[in-house]
Amino acid sequence: MKLKTDAKNVSYLVIIILILAFLVAVPFISKPYTVILLKNILMFVALTLSWALFSGPTGYISLATAAFYGAGIYTAAYLGDVLPLPVMVLCGGVASFLLALIIGAITLRLRGIYFAIFTLSSVELIKHVLHWIEITVLGKRGRPVVKVSDSTVFYVILIIVVLLLVTTYFLKRSRYGMAMSSIGSCEEAAAHIGVNVVRVKVFTFALSSFFIGLTGAIMATGLIYIDSQIAFDLNYSFFPTLMATFGGLGNIFGPVIGAVLFSYLREILITKFPYVYMLIFGLVMILTILYLPNGIIGLAQTIKVKFLGGKDATATGRKVN
């Protein structure tokens, strides 16, 4: 058994490294827009993975992604001129981390849908307050952001994605990961068996936001000019949630596959069918939730069980709530 698991892990690792090596080479071998497209897809992968890091195992649907993403963007806009790029990106992450600590700490008592709508409102609250401050106190809306080349952005996001994959992998296998899953299945029971529910929840929430902040900070450099409406766009709260659901939360590849497919679909729709983008997007969302409640991964496993008769597929049912 041990041997088998190792073999499986090694083959995973080899394929992941192959894909990564390929991605690293992309800016040298492909057309400029391919880099931009992949940068965009990787951004959604990063956001979705970060979202799934917390919301996957615990079952709390966080809709504050746009708030953390926006915090990263604003940090970049303010510090981009004075700090070197890596430090600036890190600051974006830290800003989001701190914001998430605050939001996490005050939402401790909220469950289920209440947590979702609270986090959703936090995005709007920050957006409006920031806008008000910009207009009435600073007397000027928005800010320019320092510009970085697309391939640099691409590499930074690639690094963020790799960090996320590693973090997700090890977190899942750590005591924290176990604690998170136990919170997901039954919070009272988790508290009862000695899990420090508060610490686990808030820390993971903040950790996932840290990565969202990093992504926001580096993506901001491609925006050139930002204001509160642009930075705190609710779509960035909904997309990661949908992409993760689309891909399936059963294992680490679900969110990745979901984000890749979803963002590629989006790209095709907005370039080939500009007017029907929303309609098709909405239909895909409805059909996914209706017919693929466990996402693409769930579908893949159902197929596998049917054709290959694997035993391990039962362990990967969807873990929301």
Partner 1 sequence: MISFINIFVNGLLLGGIYAITAVGLSMQYGVARILNIAHGEFIMVGAFLTWMLHTSLGINPLFCLALVGPILFLLGYLVRHYLFKTLRERTPSPAAFEGNSMLMAFGLLFVIQSLAIFIWGKSIVGYSFMPYSVYLGEIRFAANRLVIMVAAVAICFLFYLFLTRTRTGKAIRAASQDSDAAALMGVDINRMLTLCFALGALMAGFAGVLVSMDVKLNATMGMEYTIIAIIVIVLGGLGSIPGSLVGGFLLGIFGSIVSGIEPGLTLAAYYLLFMVLLLVKPSGIFGR
Partner 2 sequence: MTKKAFLLLTLILCLSVALIVAGCAEKDGEEVVEEKEEIVIGAARSYTGPLAIQDVSCFGPVYRMWIDEVNERGGIYVEEYGKRLPVRLLKYDDTSDMNTMTNLLKKLIVEDEVDFLLAPISTAFLKAAAQICNEHNFLLIGAEGGAKELEPLMAEMPYFFSLLNYATQQAGPLVDMLAEHNIESAAIIYIEDQHGLEYKNDLVPLLEDAGIEVVFDKAIPMGVKDVSSIIEEAKSKNAKALLCCAYPDENFAVMDECIASDYNPDVILFGPGACFEVFYQIYGENSEGVMGWGAWNEKSSDKLKDLAERLIAHQGGERNMDWWGMAIYYAGLEALEQAIEKAGTLDHEKIKDILATEKFDTVVGELWFENGGVPAECYPGQVGQWQNGIFEVVAPNDKATNDPLIPKPKWQAKSE
Q: How far is the CB of 169 from partner 2 (least distance, A)?
A: 14
Q: How far is the CB of 179 from partner 2 (least distance, A)?
A: 27
The two structure tokens encoding residue 288: 């996914």
Cα distances (Å, whole numbers) of residue 147 to 35, 71, 201, 211, 319: 16, 18, 36, 21, 40
Residue 68: partners with Cβ closer than 8 Å, 6 or more residues away: 96, 99, 100, 209, 212, 213, 216
In the chain, the amino acid numbered 197 is V
233 touches which of partner 1, partner 2, none (CB within 5 to 8 A by kind)?
Answer: partner 2
Report the residue from 2, 28, 109, 139 that binds partner 2 according to the rule CB under 8 A.
139
Residues near partner 1 (CB under 8 A) are 59, 61, 106-107, 109-110, 112-114, 116-118, 121-122, 124-125, 128-129, 132, 135-136, 238, 241-242, 245, 276, 278-279, 281-286, 289-290, 293, 318, 320-321
Instruction: Using DSSP, state whether 302 is helix, strand or coil.
Output: helix
Cα–Cα distance between 182 and 92 in angstroms, integer?
31
The two structure tokens encoding residue 23: 């991605």
Cα distances (Å, whole numbers) of residue 87 to 79, 94, 213, 317: 9, 10, 13, 40
84 touches which of partner 1, partner 2, none (CB within 5 to 8 A by kind)?
Answer: none
Residues between 236 and 255 with contacts to partner 2, criterion CB under 8 A: 253
Q: How far is the CB of 264 from partner 2 (least distance, A)?
A: 7
When the beta carbons of 111 and 147 are compared against partner 2, the nearer one is: 147
Q: How far is the CB of 1 from partner 1 (least distance, A)?
A: 29
Cα–Cα distance between 138 and 151 in angstroms, integer?
34
Cα–Cα distance between 253 and 249 in angstroms, integer?
8
Which residues contact partner 2 (rule: CB under 8 A)? 4-5, 7-8, 11-12, 15-16, 18-19, 22-23, 26, 30-34, 36-38, 40-41, 128, 131-132, 135-136, 139-142, 144, 147, 150, 219, 222-227, 229-230, 233, 235, 253, 256-257, 260-261, 264, 269-271, 274-275, 277-278, 300, 304, 308, 310, 312
